[in-house]
Amino acid sequence: MSDELDRIRREMHAVLQQPGVRPDDSLQITRRTFIHRSLLFGAASVGQTFAWWPLLNTIDVAHAAEAPFKFAWISDTHLYQKSLNTRFVDKVVRAVQEVQAMDPPADFLIFGGDLAQLGKIEELELGVDLLKDLTIKKYYIPGEHDWYLDMGKKWGELFGQPNWTFDHKGVRFIGLDTVSRGPDYWTVKKMTPEERMGHMATLDGTVAGAWAGVGRDQLDWMQKILADWDKSKPIVIFSHNPLYEYYPPWNFWVRDWREVNDVLKPYTKVTNIHGHVHQVLYNEIGSMRSIGMLATSWPWPYAPEGVPKLTKPMIRADPGDTYDGVGWETVTVPADDKVDVEYIMWGRKEVLVQSDPDSSLSQPEKLRPRIADNMWPY
């Protein structure tokens, strides 16, 4: 598997990281961007960078908004019914209260998917109920946990079209559905909806396969809605999965990243903000910047390979504290051509790793995929 990953990753770099291709930096090169770039070319390993990384928990992205504004992001709440598990509920309540208390208020909230854990009606409705205390405008994109029990029926009833676009203060925002186009792994095996959902809800499952993708129809739609947009004006794209290839066995990617890149290539100020990974991530891929967000529910460890070199990793959470390693984000789009992402992690002040022992990456791992879910029926 590792050789295959290596091959794909070399291909991604060959396609996307051609000489001189990176997100537009003509507007402002911050200290952080400068360090990112030197890392990119210096090819230093994550471990080697700990000693000299600055103590920062925001990420700058070059942009040009008409007027400064802020929005908030919450995702990956993975709600169970209240009777089974209240700790995830408590954390949504807290995130909602904190976003509601923002002063000045956020212009809007993006909910980045995985509202429910097993796609149940009660779980999705519980999510709506908890988020209703938040009075700002809310936009939703789906996660795989929301979708595969009833193939998006309830989600659609509650939130409408899963992909959408709007303009706000000089920025074009796009929400994508990267979860609903998975290959059919259930019909031949005659799975019940619950069994189908069970495989989808297992991050390291081997049955659901490469389900994350944008799809030809949605790519055409994106091309259409961007046709009238100035190539040098900012675009922010929300997706549940990252729009590049980080770790396919956990669907930390979209399988059609090449086609996504084809559509976005002409635009110089593209930022992708995504959930699903439950961890801090930063990458530059072609002319796009990509930022991974925290979950409110629980953190995933970094994948054993493929962590982008530009990512300053987050701390390894204390497993005894359910408020550690998780939280929500504010995104500031000031007038001076930047995007600042601030990670609000409840467990601690320093979100990012300061030294080796705080990182899950400090111990190299070689992992094998699981076997039991492919022995059907067990």
Strand 69-74 and strand 108-111: the pairing is parallel
Minimum distance, C-beta of residue 146 to Fe ion, in the bound complex (Å): 9
Give the whole-angstrom CA distance, residue 237 versus residue 286: 15
DSSP 249: G
Q: Which is nearer to other proteins, 179 or 201 (CB)?
A: 201
Are 272 and 287 a contacting pair, CB within 8 Å? no
Q: How far is CA 46 from CA 53, 138, 285, 324, 355, in A?
A: 10, 36, 18, 22, 11
- Residue list 130-189, contact with other proteins (CB under 8 A): none
- Residue list 167-226, contact with Fe ion (CB under 5 A): none
Helices 257-264, 216-226: crossing angle, 10 deg rounding: 10
Per CB under 8 A, the list member of 44, 84, 157, 231 interacting with other proteins is 84
Per CB under 8 A, the list member of 300, 309, 332, 347 interacting with other proteins is 300
Residue 87 contact among Fe ion, other proteins, none, beta carbon within 5 to 8 Å by kind: other proteins
Residue 349 contact among other proteins, Fe ion, none, beta carbon within 5 to 8 Å by kind: none
- For residue 124, with 0-12 CB atoms within 10 Å meaning exposed, 13-18 middle and 19 or more buried, which class applies? buried
- Residue list 59-78, contact with Fe ion (CB under 5 A): 76
Residue 127 contact among Fe ion, other proteins, none, beta carbon within 5 to 8 Å by kind: none
Q: Which is nearer to other proteins, 164 or 323 (CB)?
A: 323
Q: Is residue 327 within the footprint of Fe ion (CB under 5 A)?
A: no
Minimum distance, C-beta of residue 202 to other proteins, in the bound complex (Å): 6
Bond prior to 104 in cis (omega within 30° of 0): yes
Q: How far is CA 360 from CA 46, 109, 240, 241, in A?
A: 11, 30, 23, 21
Residue 101 contact among Fe ion, other proteins, none, beta carbon within 5 to 8 Å by kind: none
Q: Which is nearer to Fe ion, 226 or 326 (CB)?
A: 326
Residue 276 contact among Fe ion, other proteins, none, beta carbon within 5 to 8 Å by kind: Fe ion
Q: Which stretch binds other proteins (CB under 8 A): 36-44, 54-62, 90-98, 355-363?
A: 355-363
Per CB under 8 A, the list member of 189, 217, 301, 376 interacting with other proteins is 301
Per CB under 8 A, the list member of 229, 250, 265, 340 interacting with other proteins is 250
Q: How far is CA 165 from the centre of its chain?
A: 18
What is the total count of residues that contact other proteins (CB under 8 A)? 36
The one-letter code for the residue type at 99 is V
Per CB under 8 A, the list member of 275, 316, 338, 345 interacting with other proteins is 316
Per CB under 5 A, the list member of 35, 95, 96, 114 interacting with Fe ion is 114
Minimum distance, C-beta of residue 114 to Fe ion, in the bound complex (Å): 4
Q: Which is nearer to Fe ion, 183 or 266 (CB)?
A: 183
Contacts of 328 (CB under 8 A, 6+ apart): 72, 73, 74, 95, 98, 99, 294, 296, 344
Helices 121-131, 87-100: crossing angle, 10 deg rounding: 30
Strand 235-239 and strand 171-175: the pairing is parallel
The number of C-alpha atoms within 13 Å of 18 and in the hemisphere containing its C-beta is 5
Residue 114 contact among other proteins, Fe ion, none, beta carbon within 5 to 8 Å by kind: Fe ion
Q: Kindly state the helix (H) or strand (E) to which residue 137 belongs, with its residue range.
A: strand 137-140
Contacts of 137 (CB under 8 A, 6+ apart): 107, 108, 109
Residue at token pair 């699981």:
370
> Residue 359 is encoded by which pair of tokens?
């990182």
Q: Is residue 85 within the footprint of other proteins (CB under 8 A)?
A: yes
Minimum distance, C-beta of residue 45 to other proteins, in the bound complex (Å): 17
Q: Is residue 242 within the footprint of other proteins (CB under 8 A)?
A: no
Are 345 and 325 a contacting pair, CB within 8 Å? yes
Q: Which phi and psi angles does 154 have, rounded to 5°?
A: -65, -40
Q: Which residues bind Fe ion (CB under 5 A)?
A: 76, 114, 143-144, 276
Q: Which residues bind other proteins (CB under 8 A)?
A: 80, 84-85, 87, 117, 202-204, 249-250, 298-301, 303-304, 316, 319-320, 322, 357, 360, 362-373, 375, 378
